[in-house]
Amino acid sequence: MFTDSIILPTGRILVTGSNGFIGTRVVENLLARDCSRLRLLVRPSSKLDKLRKILETHPAGKDAEIVVGDLLSREDCKTAANGVAVVIHLAAGFDKNFAGAFMNSALATRNLLDAFLGSGQPGRFVNVSSFAVYSNLKMERHALLDETCPLEDAPQERYDAYGFGKLQQEKIVRDYGQKRNLPFVILRPGMVYGPGKPDLSGRVGINTFGFFIHLGGANELPMTYVDNCAEAVVLAAFAPGVDGETFNVVDDERMTSREFLAARRSARPFFSVWVPYPLARLGSVLWENYSQKSGGQLPPVFNRRRCAAEWQGNRYSNQKLRDRLGWRQKIPLADAMKSFLAQYQ
Amino acid sequence: MKLRIAIIGCGKIADQHLLAVRRLPGCEVVALCDREPLMAGQLGERFGIRACFADAEEMLRTAKPDAVHITTPPQGHFSIARLSLEAGCHVYLEKPFTVTAPEAAGLVQLAGEKKLIITAGHNYQFTLEMLEMRRLVAQNFLGGRAVHVESHWPYDLSDPSYVSPILGSRTHWVRQLPGQLFHNLISHGIARLAEFLGDNVQVMAHAHQSPRLQSLGGQEVRDELRVFLCDDAGTTAFFSFSTQIKPGQNFLRVCGPKNSLLADNSSGTLLRLENKSYKSYLAFFLPPLVAVRQHFRNAGINVSDFLRGRLHHDSGMKELIGRFHESIRTQGAPPIPYREIILTARIMDEIFAQINTPAK
């Protein structure tokens, strides 16, 4: 546990999405700190083998409580939030449909917040968001993207349901912070990678047309290894004096898109074609224009906003994360890549 | 004057309705309604519609729409449609039209009494290949009444975003329907059979759970359905719903006494199966070439339709909504005959009654 924490060691912690890619690592991190009063919310259809194994491995895991529930059910939220001091909200909606993404991100979060404020002992709500909420459309190429940068104001035009869900989720959390004094922290992880997530991020390229098109070129990737990201999440749950703050989560050591792709291909080769950014932008503009002109005959999957967000390229900083949360990169890049690439062997 | 449309139910399918309505001339969406205000709000924010309501009665009273598109879960269809008809609105009701056939008949009767148009969201009957199929049938290409009809409807379990929440929760609205998963997915496939069947239909249904669904934690949900149907005039039909057949087959085969037709919804193509006989070994050489010619022709038609902006992913919905609006304007016949809507509901009722009855 922490020497300097906003909750007592006996305070109960709820982790939503605890069975997910980041969630399992957050649970492991908490158990390693002897946090035994964990309540782990999992979806009804979840397979829990991995989570149960983690709980069995750590002595603190024997007291952890697994709660099966759906965040769209207010009753399930009440059960999950009852008596809880800290909520680490990792559950995410990956629906490609805007309404679905809204339901599973924003609506689910609203239900959870109501339950937390109603039947919990609110110490902190850690909302795990994403870099997808940023817009760099009006930024120079390779400009610094930090917590002060503008948020996406037209997610529909960007055709990004996930980003829309996350934006609306953040909006609700801030609204509850302002109007109902919810103590909260927002984390925005960049490109989270690690074993258990074999697909390459869209920031590296796309596989839409049956082969891999590399679009990231020499852009720096906002990468964070899953264990390093989990460390940031756990620090955000306990650190005093950061209520209402937002933190970007990226590692100290980062690679370019080209380096990352080369490493990935060294583990298991596959064919890829590089498309330089000006060409990708031209293609996106043409696609978007045709989509608009034809009334959506081609859905606007390629467009100016997405092109800028994923392939224009930025520089990144974790200064605030280091200064305010005392975060340090625990897993070095070399070890992280070794674990990541091992899944392809 | 523009037709004023309201949408009740702002979930996943509402986006599709809004986009289709926007592509049609002479109409506009004036109000949105969802009992969860945040859902109406998010849709309104994205499409620039300010009039958002949480109560359907208030919306009907305040916005006074000409027509209402109801896109809620089916359990709400009957009461909301009745409310809308009572308020003097024409109604487009998403599939499944109602939960039961008596409800469907009740709504159709009420629409008739009020001199209003009601239609079901059987939009797959209005895709380009289905329109062409209907044109040929009207020209007697079949050579008489259909002898046999076959409808295959697939569902792909590889994307768990739809099925996982259903399997995960016994209280999910799909699980509360008498036909569960089938109830929400088979309307399109049954409706296109109803077009060719008489009013009295015998039904024989079998359903089971696939090993794949079982591995996903399917519990009592079934995902494989086969149905045999026969009407009084001897026209037979077969319906198959499958999550397991690969590649997923989505087609309608209409067999006539002279020729047959095969409308493939997956590829948007129509094959004319003409009754020709060939001498000797030509029977092995020529028919494949005739088929090749038809496939080339279909590809050409699809490319041409795409370039002319006719071929959209949801061209069926746009066509159906367009016809619905046209029938309101002209006070003409509804886009889908009421007989077919009620027959579809009756066939579905009978299927669910049979598969929900324990085997003796």
Are B20 and B317 contacting, i.e. CB atoms less than 8 angstroms apart?
yes
Q: Is A13 helix (H, G, I), strand (E, B) or coil?
A: strand
Predicted confidence band of residue A239 (pLDDT cuts 50, 70, 90): very high
pLDDT value of position B100: 98
- Phi, psi at A21, each rounded to 5°: -60, -50
User: For A76-90, A94-108, B60-74, which range has the lowest pLDDT when averaged over its residues?
Assistant: A94-108
Contacts of B313 in chain A (CB under 8 A): 297, 299
What gap in Å lies between CA B295 and CA A211, rounded to an integer? 27
What gap in Å lies between CA B176 and CA B172, rounded to an integer? 7
Output the CA–CA distances (angstroms, integers) from residue A214 to A93, A163, A178, A197, in the order listed.
Answer: 27, 22, 43, 19
Interface size A-B, in CB pairs within 8 Å, comes to 67
A292 to chain B, any CB pair closer than 8 A? The answer is no
User: For A42-51, A185-194, B283-292, which range has the lowest pLDDT when averaged over its residues?
Assistant: A42-51
Summary mean pLDDT of chain A: 94
Are B105 and B78 contacting, i.e. CB atoms less than 8 angstroms apart?
no
User: Which segments of A159-225 does DSSP mark as H helices, in order?
Assistant: 161-180
How would DSSP label each residue in A230-291?
HHHHHHHHH-TT-TT-EEEE--SS--BHHHHHHHHHHHS---EEE--HHHHHHHHHHHHHHH
Give CA B149 to chain center in angstroms. Answer: 17
Locate the DSSP E strands across A2-105. Answer: 12-16, 38-42, 65-68, 84-89
> Does residue B360 register a pLDDT over 60?
no
- Phi, psi at B90, each rounded to 5°: -70, 155
> Does residue A138 register a pLDDT over 70?
yes
pLDDT value of position B315: 92
How would DSSP label each residue in B247-286?
S---EEEEE-SS-EEEEETTTTEEEEE------TTHHHHH
> Does residue A73 register a pLDDT over 70?
yes
Mean pLDDT over A293-320 rounds to 95
**Test the B interface: residue of A102, A113, A293, A298 with most B CBs within 10 Å:** A102
Q: Side-chain half-sphere of A25: how many Cα atoms within 13 Å?
A: 19
Please calculate the CA angle A62-A66-A71 and round it to the nearest 5 degrees. 155
Radius of gyration of chain A from its Cα atoms, rounded to whole angstroms: 20
Residue closest to B67 by CA, chosen among B111, B10, B102: B111
CB-CB under 8 Å, B311 with A99: no
pLDDT value of position B59: 98
**Chain A residue with the nearest C-alpha to that of B164:** A45
Shortest distance, CA A250 to any CA of chain B (angstroms): 29
In percent, the amount of chain B with pLDDT more than 70 equals 99
> Does residue A195 register a pLDDT over 80?
yes
A35 to chain B, any CB pair closer than 8 A? The answer is no
What gap in Å lies between CA A287 and CA B108, rounded to an integer? 44
- Phi, psi at B236, each rounded to 5°: -105, 160
Residue closest to B195 by CA, chosen among B43, B339, B72: B339
Summary mean pLDDT of chain B: 95
> Does residue B173 register a pLDDT over 60?
yes
Q: Which two tokens stand for residue B310?
A: 């006719």
What gap in Å lies between CA B224 and CA B241, rounded to an integer? 6
Task: Indicate the residue of A45, A100, A156 with minimum beta-carbon distance to B12.
Answer: A100
**Chain A residue with the nearest C-alpha to that of B165:** A45
Radius of gyration of chain B from its Cα atoms, rounded to whole angstroms: 21
Output the CA–CA distances (angstroms, integers) from residue A319 to A145, A247, B332, in the order listed.
Answer: 12, 9, 68
Mean pLDDT over B200-209 rounds to 97
Q: Which two tokens stand for residue B144?
A: 């008489």
CB-CB under 8 Å, A296 with B42: no
Per-residue pLDDT tens digits for B344-355? 999 999 999 999
**Chain A residue with the nearest C-alpha to that of B214:** A45
A299 to chain B, any CB pair closer than 8 A? The answer is yes
Task: Indicate the residue of B10, B38, B309 with minimum beta-carbon distance to A297.
Answer: B309
- Phi, psi at B253, each rounded to 5°: -110, 125
CB-CB under 8 Å, A45 with B165: yes
Domain residue spans in chain B? 3-120, 125-314+346-355
Interface of A with B in 138-177 (CB under 8 A): 156, 164, 168
pLDDT value of position A2: 60
CB-CB under 8 Å, A294 with B39: no
Mean pLDDT over A77-98 rounds to 92
B214 to chain A, any CB pair closer than 8 A? The answer is no
Per-residue pLDDT tens digits for B112-126? 999 999 999 999 999
In percent, the amount of chain A with pLDDT more than 90 equals 88
Shortest distance, CA B50 to any CA of chain A (angstroms): 17
Q: Is B206 helix (H, G, I), strand (E, B) or coil?
A: strand
Shortest distance, CA A171 to any CA of chain B (angstroms): 12
Predicted confidence band of residue B359 (pLDDT cuts 50, 70, 90): low
What gap in Å lies between CA B222 and CA B241, rounded to an integer? 11
Mean pLDDT over B176-191 rounds to 96
pTM, full prediction: 0.92
Q: Count Cβ atoms below 10 Å from residue B27 Cβ, excluding itself.
A: 19
pLDDT value of position A75: 94
Question: Any idea what DSSP says for residue B184?
Answer: H
Residue closest to A152 by CA, chosen among A171, A168, A135, A140: A135
Give percent helix, percent strand, percent coil of chain A, each to the nearest 5. Answer: 45, 15, 40
pLDDT value of position B96: 97
Contacts of A44 in chain B (CB under 8 A): 167-169
pLDDT value of position B166: 85
CB-CB under 8 Å, A73 with B171: yes
Per CATH, the number for B3-120 is 3.40.50.720
Contacts of B21 in chain A (CB under 8 A): none
**Higher per-residue pLDDT: B334 or A121:** B334
Q: Which two tokens stand for residue A228?
A: 């390093």
β-sheet bridge partners, residue B255:
B148, B260
Residue closest to B269 by CA, chosen among B239, B304, B306, B294: B294
What gap in Å lies between CA A140 and CA A176, rounded to an integer? 34
B156 to chain A, any CB pair closer than 8 A? The answer is no
What gap in Å lies between CA B88 and CA B66, rounded to an integer? 8
B164 to chain A, any CB pair closer than 8 A? The answer is yes
Question: β-strands B260-264, B269-273: how paired?
Answer: antiparallel
CB-CB under 8 Å, B36 with A70: no
Largest CA distance in chain B: 73
- Phi, psi at B260, each rounded to 5°: -135, 165
B169 to chain A, any CB pair closer than 8 A? The answer is yes
A102 to chain B, any CB pair closer than 8 A? The answer is yes
CB-CB under 8 Å, A95 with B39: no
Q: Count Cβ atoms below 10 Å from residue B299 Cβ, excluding itself.
A: 12
Contacts of A76 in chain B (CB under 8 A): none
What gap in Å lies between CA A264 and CA B264, rounded to an integer? 40
Residue holding tokens 């159709």? Answer: B108
pLDDT value of position B20: 93
Range among A50-54, A293-297, B171-175 rated most confident: A50-54
Mean pLDDT over B97-110 rounds to 98
Per-residue pLDDT tens digits for B31-79? 999 999 999 999 999 999 999 999 999 999 999 999 999 999 999 999 9
What gap in Å lies between CA B10 and CA B42, rounded to an integer? 9
Mean pLDDT over B287-307 rounds to 96
Q: Count Cβ atoms below 10 Å from residue A71 Cβ, excluding itself.
A: 25
Are B110 and B99 contacting, i.e. CB atoms less than 8 angstroms apart?
no
Task: Indicate the residue of A45, A99, A296 with minimum beta-carbon distance to B43.
Answer: A99
User: For A43-52, B185-194, B313-322, which range has the lowest pLDDT when averaged over its residues?
Assistant: A43-52
Output the CA–CA distances (angstroms, integers) from residue B34 to A141, A155, B6, B48, B355, in the order listed.
Answer: 42, 22, 11, 16, 33
> Does residue B133 register a pLDDT over 60?
yes
Q: Any idea which architecture B125-314+346-355 has in CATH?
A: 2-Layer Sandwich (3.30)
> Does residue B139 register a pLDDT over 60?
yes
Predicted confidence band of residue A3 (pLDDT cuts 50, 70, 90): low
Per-residue pLDDT tens digits for B245-258? 999 989 999 999 99
Q: How many residues can be counted in chain A?
A: 345
CB-CB under 8 Å, B42 with A106: yes
Mean pLDDT over B127-137 rounds to 97
CB-CB under 8 Å, A45 with B164: yes
A113 to chain B, any CB pair closer than 8 A? The answer is no
A99 to chain B, any CB pair closer than 8 A? The answer is yes
Please report the ipTM that was assigned to this predicted complex: 0.89
Predicted confidence band of residue B169 (pLDDT cuts 50, 70, 90): confident
Helix axes B315-330, B12-22, angle to 10 degrees: 60
> Does residue B307 register a pLDDT over 90?
yes
Mean pLDDT over B183-188 rounds to 96
pLDDT value of position B162: 76
> Does residue B148 register a pLDDT over 60?
yes
DSSP H/E element including B4: strand B3-8
